[in-house]
Chain A
Amino acid sequence: MKVPVPVRHTWPHSIGLVALSAACLCFAEEGDSFEGLSVSGDNILQCANGYRDIDQSSTKKPGDYLTDYLNFDVQMRKLFLQGRFQIDQPSLGYDPSSPVFREFFSRRAVGFNGRNMTFKAGHFMTTFGRGLSLALKEDVTIERATILDGVFMDVHLPLLEIQGLAGRSMTRKVNTVSIDTDDYDEETGETIVIKLELDNPGYRDNIFGIDVASYPFSRFESVPLLSACAVGAGIVDYRSDVSAIKAGREIDTITIDSMGVADTTFVNRYYQNRKNTFLPSIHVELSTGSIDAYAEHARMLYRSHTFVDTLFDERIVDDAESYATYVSLGACFLDFSLMGEYKNYFYGKDNNQGCNVIVEGEYVEPPSARHRHIWQLLTKHVPANTVRDVIGYRLALDWSRFENATFALSYCCGGRHKNRQGRYSLFTFGNDENEDYWDIYLQSNLSIGSRFISKIGANYGKIDPYEPEARYATVGSKFDLGPFLKAHSVGLALELQRNSKEFRAERDSAAVIAVAGPYTPVDESAFDYYSDVPDELKSVHRQWTWNLVATASYSLSPYFAFSATLEKETPFFQGQPVLQSDVTSSDRYYRSVGIKVRPVENHSIQLEAGSYSGGQKCTLGECVMVPSFEGVRLSITSLF
């Protein structure tokens, strides 16, 4: 079955951008002659034996591996050639299932870099506004990036800033279609389990976007009230065509009747999803000496959305609409700094997003049901000693009365992204989770010179969507002691965090069923009722744990450095608080030692052994974002 929905190519847009760039080039540049060739870059060679991404079991890659990233930047006056030549051998062993040795240019771009404009053809990343309508970015800790392959133009003029792009996503090859659902029929006592994983032989997408920001008062820098005012607007046109033609060899529909007898059927299936999406956005910024405000609004309009699924005999041609809004306000008065943020994602009717709404059902004696629905809310907050997360409303107040001390208080409420990978999809729409969340956070930063730095934070709130009655409290502190000796730097960094949870199951509790489904606006009051729970199921259950990160370091700066890290992490159990048998709590230890030798200014050799939890790592006054790893790793970094 073919559904004739046109998916236009982006080459007309590309030609348009090239022409526009050429025009800008003629007027914006001074026409200097080409002089010499300049080459710079870095080369990172890693030989390792161990596991990559130890926190993500799906991408676990055991064994030896070798990677070499040669990042280069060749410049001839204002022309440049950038790229990354990547050699990737995920496994040097004899595992037949491991990928083969690969050599390829994983990043490549050519272009022109002038004082007023940049034009690039190849791979690129950019963000429109604060990223509501388009956000292309990279996170090395999870080895995930959203990159476009096409042409990109960025023009900086005194009164105007223009970004234009036309291309296609580089992640299109990894997409698969998978469905995994189960349903229980109370009347017949049957459980129907559907498991499906389709290869995805066809994926095409085309993206065109332009964002223009005007700084109308930037000429008047003597008037600070007006100079930092910007008004902008952007559009993104996204066309995707996903099809799994006969790729679904079979679908397993397993029906388990009330006697426990299973019946399996196999169904051939055709799946297709075509979407033409249009995202207009506007953003306004105003900054003065003591107040700054920013507002951005983006709409997602499915101008054409065709979804075909032969299994369910489903063919939907649908137009839907959703929007996202972000507002931030910052101000300072006396010694106080105030910041408020609000982000709201609202979905219209969309049959292919899924997982937008969590419906909670409860089944106890007597039967009861509960439905919870809140708006899609996202803002940012950094919990103590954990990786950066994107969650809830945010209101932050900082007090810096004293030179070496800062006190911060913040309040968050709302939802957050499904997971960190979810932030790295092409569009942020559809990658958040509807959660009822709030959190109050108090933090102090104290420093005595640069030898003693203390960061002490505590938060109290409700964070877990699957445990609606849970209260969560964290007291964390971070100390950076030393170095004690000047010639031979010896340092000790301690990070200590106490987490506690309290589960209150006094009113309701039992097996919570989370069902992912399409968004359907439902009157909350119609479902929001509870029933009495037997006394034996009522309980107040408390948990607490300590997390510790201790790093001892020695450096004969800048030529030799040694560090040893011990990290203990006790995760909270997953499951229902009243079902104690589900408790699967186990401590996790990360122990690592590392030696870094820097024989000359631009070259370093680093040997690491042990396990690393990944994320932000600070050793010897230096912070890097690292992916999680377990094993032995030798890295040679050369800057040229």
Chain B
Amino acid sequence: MMRPCIGGRTFISGALVGVAMLSLWPAAALDIGCAPDFTIRDIWGKTVDGAELYAHGVVMVDFWATWCVPCRPELKALAKIHKKYKNSGLTILTISEDGVEETAAVKQFVRTEKMPFVVIVDRNKQLMKLFHASAVPTLFLIEKGGKIRATHIGFLSGDEKKIEKEVASLIEEMGKNQAKETNKDAPVEGK
């Protein structure tokens, strides 16, 4: 599947040391880059395809762990956002960093907290490395097409309002784009 995302991380460079030096220059705040592709099974055995999710609509990817205290209120806040926007094209993907041997404990947590999201256990932190996340919770907000529009590291009181505002904005943007495409495809009157 073709990915329309052209992110801030895409450039050509010969030397890796040069890349490291380039990285020290300030980057544009919202031009973070493309979300990586992956195919993985969730804790219930269903296949999750990153590219398909990005093509479908707005995606939130959240890294968490059962031992992480701030993750608990964050997941509750995400559940409320999910309830509100799931019919508008929002998919929430939560990735547990507990380790594959802790899958039973993760499932127990998911059942207890009644989490309505897609839940993945990150085998050997491969998704965390793909997204270059280093702490939990870390949340990536990805627009339709696969471009990362916002990153939230940590969760503090009040963040849920900011996240919801960003989600609403992206969904509105997605709706406008879809309307434009529909208008383009629609036959012009009189012709």
Known contacts A37-B12, A137-B124, A624-B134: does B27 contact A640 (CB below 8 Å)?
yes
In the bound assembly, the distance between CA atoms of A218 and B42 in angstroms comes to 12
Known contacts A43-B20, A294-B103: does B124 contact A449 (CB below 8 Å)?
no
Which of A350-358, A478-486, A525-533, A580-588 is near enough to bind chain B?
Answer: A478-486
Q: Is B24 an interface residue (CB 8 A)?
A: yes
B102-139: which residues lie under 8 A (CB-CB) from chain A? 102-105, 107-108, 111-114, 123-125, 129-130, 132, 134-137
B12 and A557 contacting across the interface, CB-CB below 8 Å: no
Q: Is B183 an interface residue (CB 8 A)?
A: no
Q: Is B85 an interface residue (CB 8 A)?
A: no
A601 and B151 contacting across the interface, CB-CB below 8 Å: yes
Identity of the chain A residue whose Cβ is nearest the Cβ of B31 in the assembled complex? A601
Q: Is A158 an interface residue (CB 8 A)?
A: yes
A230 and B100 contacting across the interface, CB-CB below 8 Å: no
Contact of B67 among A115, A221, A406, A616 (CB under 8 A): A616
B157 and A41 contacting across the interface, CB-CB below 8 Å: no
Given the complex, which residues of A lie within 8 Å of B182, measured CB to CB?
none
A638 and B10 contacting across the interface, CB-CB below 8 Å: no
In the bound assembly, the distance between CA atoms of A215 and B124 in angstroms comes to 22
Q: Is A602 an interface residue (CB 8 A)?
A: yes
- Within the complex, the shortest CB–CB distance from B139 to chain A, in Å, comes to 11
In the bound assembly, the distance between CA atoms of A593 and B39 in angstroms comes to 41
- Within the complex, the shortest CB–CB distance from A389 to chain B, in Å, comes to 12
* Chain B residue total in the interface (Cβ 8 A): 76
Given the complex, which residues of B lie within 8 Å of A74, measured CB to CB?
16
Per-position 1/0 for A394-420, Cβ under 8 A of B: 001010100010101000000000000
Identity of the chain B residue whose Cβ is nearest the Cβ of A396 in the assembled complex? B108
Contact of A486 among B73, B104, B154, B157 (CB under 8 A): B157
B71 and A39 contacting across the interface, CB-CB below 8 Å: no
Given the complex, which residues of B lie within 8 Å of A125, measured CB to CB?
124
Given the complex, which residues of B lie within 8 Å of A558, measured CB to CB?
153
Identity of the chain B residue whose Cβ is nearest the Cβ of A489 in the assembled complex? B156
In the bound assembly, the distance between CA atoms of A486 and B135 in angstroms comes to 22
Q: Is A259 an interface residue (CB 8 A)?
A: no
Q: Is A607 an interface residue (CB 8 A)?
A: no
Q: Is A622 an interface residue (CB 8 A)?
A: yes
Contact of B111 among A330, A451, A599 (CB under 8 A): A330
Q: Is B56 an interface residue (CB 8 A)?
A: no
In the bound assembly, the distance between CA atoms of A136 and B123 in angstroms comes to 10
Given the complex, which residues of B lie within 8 Å of A215, measured CB to CB?
41, 45
A113 and B37 contacting across the interface, CB-CB below 8 Å: yes
Identity of the chain A residue whose Cβ is nearest the Cβ of B28 in the assembled complex? A601
Which of A8-16, A126-134, A567-575 is near enough to bind chain B?
Answer: A126-134
Q: Is A516 an interface residue (CB 8 A)?
A: no
Identity of the chain B residue whose Cβ is nearest the Cβ of A127 in the assembled complex? B100
Identity of the chain A residue whose Cβ is nearest the Cβ of B77 in the assembled complex? A450
Identity of the chain B residue whose Cβ is nearest the Cβ of A290 in the assembled complex? B111
Contact of B124 among A127, A218, A287 (CB under 8 A): A127
Contact of B73 among A137, A218, A449, A603 (CB under 8 A): A449
Per-position 1/0 for B137-178, Cβ under 8 A of A: 100000000000001011111111000000000000000000
- Within the complex, the shortest CB–CB distance from B23 to chain A, in Å, comes to 3
B68 and A618 contacting across the interface, CB-CB below 8 Å: yes
- Within the complex, the shortest CB–CB distance from A627 to chain B, in Å, comes to 14
Q: Is A440 an interface residue (CB 8 A)?
A: no
Given the complex, which residues of B lie within 8 Å of A432, measured CB to CB?
none
- Within the complex, the shortest CB–CB distance from B178 to chain A, in Å, comes to 25
A115 and B51 contacting across the interface, CB-CB below 8 Å: yes
* Chain A residue total in the interface (Cβ 8 A): 89
Known contacts A400-B112, A557-B156, A640-B22: does B136 contact A623 (CB below 8 Å)?
yes
A25-68: which residues lie under 8 A (CB-CB) from chain B? 32, 36-43
Given the complex, which residues of B lie within 8 Å of A115, measured CB to CB?
1, 37, 39, 49, 51
B124 and A330 contacting across the interface, CB-CB below 8 Å: no
Known contacts A161-B41, A337-B111: does B156 contact A623 (CB below 8 Å)?
no
In the bound assembly, the distance between CA atoms of A558 and B158 in angstroms comes to 13
Identity of the chain B residue whose Cβ is nearest the Cβ of A228 in the assembled complex? B45
In the bound assembly, the distance between CA atoms of A38 and B154 in angstroms comes to 27
Given the complex, which residues of B lie within 8 Å of A500, measured CB to CB?
none
Known contacts A228-B45, A638-B24: does B124 contact A126 (CB below 8 Å)?
yes
A400 and B10 contacting across the interface, CB-CB below 8 Å: no
In the bound assembly, the distance between CA atoms of A453 and B76 in angstroms comes to 13
In the bound assembly, the distance between CA atoms of A73 and B67 in angstroms comes to 29
Contact of B16 among A72, A396, A616 (CB under 8 A): A72
Contact of B157 among A70, A136, A483 (CB under 8 A): A483
Given the complex, which residues of A lie within 8 Å of B84, measured CB to CB?
none
Per-position 1/0 for B75-95, Cβ under 8 A of A: 011000000000000000000
Q: Is A89 an interface residue (CB 8 A)?
A: no
Per-position 1/0 for B5-41, Cβ under 8 A of A: 0010111110010011011101111101110010111
B158 and A486 contacting across the interface, CB-CB below 8 Å: yes
Q: Is B181 an interface residue (CB 8 A)?
A: no
A623 and B151 contacting across the interface, CB-CB below 8 Å: no
A599 and B26 contacting across the interface, CB-CB below 8 Å: yes
Please, could you name 28 A-B residue pairs with CB atoms under 8 Å apart, sorted by A?
A36-B12, A37-B11, A38-B7, A42-B132, A42-B134, A85-B16, A125-B124, A135-B101, A138-B125, A228-B46, A229-B45, A339-B108, A406-B112, A449-B73, A450-B155, A451-B157, A482-B157, A599-B26, A601-B151, A602-B23, A622-B135, A622-B136, A622-B153, A623-B67, A623-B135, A638-B20, A638-B24, A640-B9
| A contact residues vs B (CB 8 Å cutoff) | 32, 36-43, 70-74, 85, 113, 115-116, 125-127, 130-131, 135-138, 156, 158, 161, 215, 218, 221, 227-230, 285, 287, 292, 294, 328, 330, 332, 337, 339, 341, 380, 382, 388, 396, 398, 400, 404, 406, 408, 445, 447, 449-451, 453, 455, 478, 480, 482-483, 486, 489, 491, 555, 557-558, 599-603, 616, 618, 620-624, 637-640
Q: A337-B108, A623-B136, A624-B135 are in contact. List 4 more A-B contacts (CB 8 A).
A: A388-B67, A451-B157, A622-B155, A640-B23
